[in-house]
């Protein structure tokens, strides 16, 4: 994508009277870091970037807006939020529209066709991160790492994020403005993570997840980063009744993770953010993608692709045979 075009378009959008601010990506302060940028005027657009390091899904900021009471005599600020989205991020926005978490006239969606993002942990394993900020560009099929004035070609297969290997929607499924050309979809490999889980017997699966959930430190990062975990009254916070205790132990950790996974079934758009931020390296993607596959295979439903769809967990068919009810 042409950065000049991005910044020009962003400056126009951020200057609009009906836009409060624009959310995009900007360079971080060191190494491979990239940070969210909140742009309130045309000048701010100069810091925006779109690079293979912009892995984070910014759609989560749409529902994190603090809604303070409006002082008497003042009008609420109903201006729109403009948001830069990749394909997976646009699925989160679409799912939020389906669930009425946001309304269509509250957002300006700036679509960024996405050739694939880097897993910065894989990149750091091969090219250890330093304090010096680095830049990464797409270079044909591969990536180009630029730091300290040196350019290094990095093979796509070595550092591509897992979610991108499995991506079926690299182009935004919804947008008001699209930047650059649509990218061609690529051949998808098998989902090895889900295959590995499906290849285990019941006891072996239980043992595997017990080992994983035992590592959970209950930092709630997975929930807080998730664009679809936005209930104001979250079951995981409730004290009366207490569905999940505060204690960090295997039993409560399991309840926490299973509750989250089931609340995301038919809603998770597989952006991989929960796994990316987990400090305990729990493979949450395997769990979410397994549930997503079940929902797809059994009910023919895929979240975040059709803004006119009925929300999966809040709909039913009157002629459902309900064979499972005894």
Contacts with ligand SF4 by CB under 6 A lie at 86-88, 114, 116-117, 161, 163-164, 167, 170, 216-222, 225-228, 257, 264, 268-274, 277-280, 282, 288
- Cβ 61 to ligand SF4, closest distance in Å? 13
**Residue (159 or 228) nearer to ligand SF4, CB:** 228
Q: Could you tell me whether strands 142-147 and 150-154 are parallel, antiparallel, or unpaired per DSSP bridges?
A: antiparallel
Q: Which residue has the tokens 């009008």?
A: 75
Strand partners, 118: 160
Q: How far apart are CA 321 and CA 326, in angstroms?
A: 12
The DSSP secondary structure of 219-260, one letter per residue, reads --HHHHH-TT---SS-TTT--TT-SS-S--SHHHHHHHHHHH
Nearer to ligand SF4, 21 or 138 (CB): 138
How near is the Cβ of 102 to ligand SF4 at its closest, in Å? 15
Q: Which is nearer to ligand SF4, 11 or 49 (CB)?
A: 49
Q: Tell me phi and psi for residue 153, to 5 degrees.
A: -80, 130
Q: Rounded to the nearest whole angstrom, what is the least distance from the CB of residue 160 to ligand SF4 in the complex?
A: 8
Residue closer to ligand SF4, measured from CB, 134 or 167: 167
Q: What share of the chain is helix, strand, coil (3-state, %, to 5)?
A: 35, 15, 50
Identify which of residues 110 and 222 has a Cβ nearer to ligand SF4 in the complex: 222
CB of 315 to ligand SF4, least distance (A): 19
The C-alpha atoms of residue 308 and residue 98 are separated, in whole angstroms, by: 7
User: How near is the Cβ of 310 to ligand SF4 at its closest, in Å?
Assistant: 19
Q: How many CB atoms lie within 10 A of CB 206?
A: 12
């Amino acid at each position: 994508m042409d950065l000049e075009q991005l910044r020009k378009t962003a400056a126009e959008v951020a200057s609009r009277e009906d836009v409060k601010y624009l959310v995009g990506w900007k360079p971080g302060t060191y190494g491979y870091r990239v940070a969210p940028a909140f742009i309130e005027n045309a000048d701010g657009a100069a810091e925006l970037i779109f690079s293979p390091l912009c892995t984070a899904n910014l759609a989560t900021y749409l529902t994190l807006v603090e809604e303070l009471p409006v002082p008497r005599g003042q009008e609420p600020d109903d201006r729109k939020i403009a948001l830069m989205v990749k394909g997976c991020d646009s699925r989160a926005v679409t799912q939020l529209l389906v669930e009425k978490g946001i309304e269509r006239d509250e957002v300006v969606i700036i679509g960024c066709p996405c050739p694939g993002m880097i897993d910065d942990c894989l990149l750091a394993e091969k090219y250890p991160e330093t304090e010096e900020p680095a830049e990464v560009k797409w270079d044909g099929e591969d990536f180009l790492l630029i730091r300290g004035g040196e350019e290094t070609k990095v093979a796509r297969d070595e550092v591509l994020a897992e979610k991108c290997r499995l991506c079926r929607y690299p182009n935004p499924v919804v947008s008001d403005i699209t930047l650059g050309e649509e990218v061609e979809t690529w051949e998808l490999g098998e989902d090895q993570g889900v295959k590995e889980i499906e290849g285990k017997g019941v006891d072996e699966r239980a043992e595997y997840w017990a080992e994983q959930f035992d590592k959970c430190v209950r930092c709630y990062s997975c929930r807080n980063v998730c664009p679809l975990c936005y209930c104001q009254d979250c079951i995981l916070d409730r004290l009366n009744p207490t569905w999940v205790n505060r204690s960090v132990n295997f039993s409560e950790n399991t309840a926490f993770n299973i509750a989250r996974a089931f609340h995301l079934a038919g809603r998770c758009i597989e952006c991989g953010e929960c796994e990316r931020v987990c400090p305990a390296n729990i493979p949450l993607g395997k769990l979410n993608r397994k549930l997503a596959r079940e929902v797809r295979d059994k009910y023919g439903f895929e979240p975040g692709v059709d803004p006119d769809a009925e929300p999966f967990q809040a709909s039913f068919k009157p002629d459902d045979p309900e064979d499972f009810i005894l």
